Amino acid sequence: MPGTNDAFVKFLGVQKTYDGETVVVKNLDLDIARGEFLTMLGPSGSGKTTTLMMLAGFEVPTHGSIRLEGRSIGNMPPHKRDIGMVFQSYALFPHMTVEENLAFPLKVRKFSKTEIEAKIRRALDMVRLGSYGKRRPAQLSGGQQQRIALARALVFDPKLVLMDEPLGALDKHLREQMQLEIKRIHEDLGVTVIYVTHDQSEALTMSDRIAVFNDGVIQQLAAPADLYERPQNAFVAQFIGENNRMHGKVVAMNGATCKVEIAGAGSVQALAINVEAVGRLTELSLRPERVKLNPMPGSLPNVFSARVADVIYLGDHVRARISVCGHDDFVIKLPNSEGVTQVEPGAAITIGWKTEDCRALDAP
């Protein structure tokens, strides 16, 4: 991950309430490194956008402080924070050409005409729209408008770029293209980016680290692979990627592992990640792709008989919904390596998984 040991952006005990009763952001402590691409991910109302708006200067913290390059920015107006912003709505001036839109933040900052021309040319080349300078926003596609909005946020060489759901208005194909484009620009420029989204696949694709928000609190802060492979609580496991959940009671603990009794379905060996004690309830988390079909006898500690409810063919893999351990919505994913469907609806199958692939987390 780029950056130094010193935090470029620092939130210290930040709280935000609008009515004095409901706290939208609760005691937020967060360090962001220079050059990092950090995504704030979470459902609507989780506090991620409010956190971004406080950093931008459009909202004021109720308590705590925010520092940029070691300086408190609490009393600094938004236009003096040297921060670029990209919004879902693009926020381009419809009566201006592309060049005039890009020139606006440069004129406000009193750049010379020569500097403005050079910076506009460089910004348009960066988003691969060098020949579009004379067009107006209405003459551009949605993807092109988003590229221009990105260019305008970067044209004055800001210290920091904030992006609030910038791809939400684009269709799936354009959104995936723009994810890669934004990541390329970030890597080329080395600028610090803080990105807000509720789309977990977008966060996994683009980020150096992801802060998962819920109820005004960061539930887990980690690299994408860590969040997906090693969720620390049930909310993160369910919010990041697809996840099979099974509820049970801890009946034994042995170091890093535990034994969980599933009502009417036997016991499961799992990693004890967020388990209080023997006798307490827990939620098991298991990714669909970690489930093995028809494992060799004795090869896995967790083996169960199951029945296939339905099968969806998805090209590179097959997604099957099965009934197992008292759950009718258990999902497995099978790679389509042979070009044929390995299971059929109604079939009786055996499935299994490793202890380390099943995580015992906090109770629901």
Q: How sure is the predictor about 243, in pLDDT bands with cuts at 50, 70 and 90?
A: very high
pLDDT of res. 1: 46
Above 80 in pLDDT, residue 6? Answer: no
Above 60 in pLDDT, residue 5? Answer: no
The most confident of 48-52, 263-267, 315-319, by mean pLDDT: 48-52
- In this prediction, residues 90-111 reach a mean pLDDT of 91
Which residues, in sequence order, are CB contacts of 198 under 8 Å at separation 6+? 41, 42, 43, 44, 165
Rounded to whole angstroms, how far apart are CA atoms 31 and 56? 16
Q: How sure is the predictor about 172, in pLDDT bands with cuts at 50, 70 and 90?
A: confident
Q: How sure is the predictor about 340, in pLDDT bands with cuts at 50, 70 and 90?
A: low
Q: Is 195 helix (H, G, I), strand (E, B) or coil?
A: strand
Rounded to whole angstroms, how far apart are CA atoms 83 and 57? 10
Percent of the chain having pLDDT more than 70?
Answer: 97
Strands 37-41 and 192-197: parallel
- In this prediction, residues 104-115 reach a mean pLDDT of 92
pLDDT of res. 339: 59
Q: How sure is the predictor about 48, in pLDDT bands with cuts at 50, 70 and 90?
A: very high
Q: Are 154 and 126 a contacting pair, CB within 8 Å?
A: yes
Q: Are 192 and 34 a contacting pair, CB within 8 Å?
A: yes
Over residues 81-99, the pLDDT tens digits come to 989 999 878 788 999 999 9
Q: Which of 263-267, 280-284, 285-289, 345-349 has the lowest mean pLDDT?
A: 263-267
- In Å, how far from its chain's centre is CA 14? 21
Domain locations in the chain as residue ranges = 7-234, 242-361
Phi, psi of 363 (to 5 degrees): -70, 150
In the chain, the amino acid numbered 341 is T
More confident residue, 10 or 166: 10
DSSP symbols for 277-346: -TT-EEEEEE-GGGPEESPPTTS-SEEEEEEEEEEEE-SSEEEEEEEETTEEEEEEEEE-SSSS-S--TT
Over residues 314-336, the pLDDT tens digits come to 888 889 999 998 889 999 998 88
Domain over 242-361 is classified CATH 2.40.50.100? yes
pLDDT of res. 2: 45
The DSSP H or E segment spanning 178 is helix 172-189
Over residues 213-228, the pLDDT tens digits come to 999 999 999 999 999 9
Q: Cα–Cα distances in Å, from 341 out to 21, 72, 291, 292, 317? A: 55, 59, 16, 15, 9
> Taking the model in full, what pTM does it have?
0.90
pLDDT of res. 4: 43
Above 90 in pLDDT, residue 341? Answer: no
Three-class secondary structure assignment of 206-263: HCCEEEEEECCEEEEEECHHHHHHCCCCHHHHHHCCCCEEEEEEEEEEECCEEEEEEC
Above 80 in pLDDT, residue 364? Answer: no
Q: Are 154 and 161 a contacting pair, CB within 8 Å?
A: yes
pLDDT of res. 3: 42
Over residues 129-140, the pLDDT tens digits come to 999 999 999 999
| Average pLDDT taken over every residue of the chain | 92
What CATH code would you report for 7-234?
3.40.50.300
Rounded to whole angstroms, how far apart are CA atoms 198 and 238? 13
- In this prediction, residues 14-35 reach a mean pLDDT of 95
pLDDT of res. 360: 97
Tokens representing 345? 């609806």
Q: Cα–Cα distances in Å, from 39 out to 90, 188, 206, 236, 298? A: 19, 18, 8, 14, 42
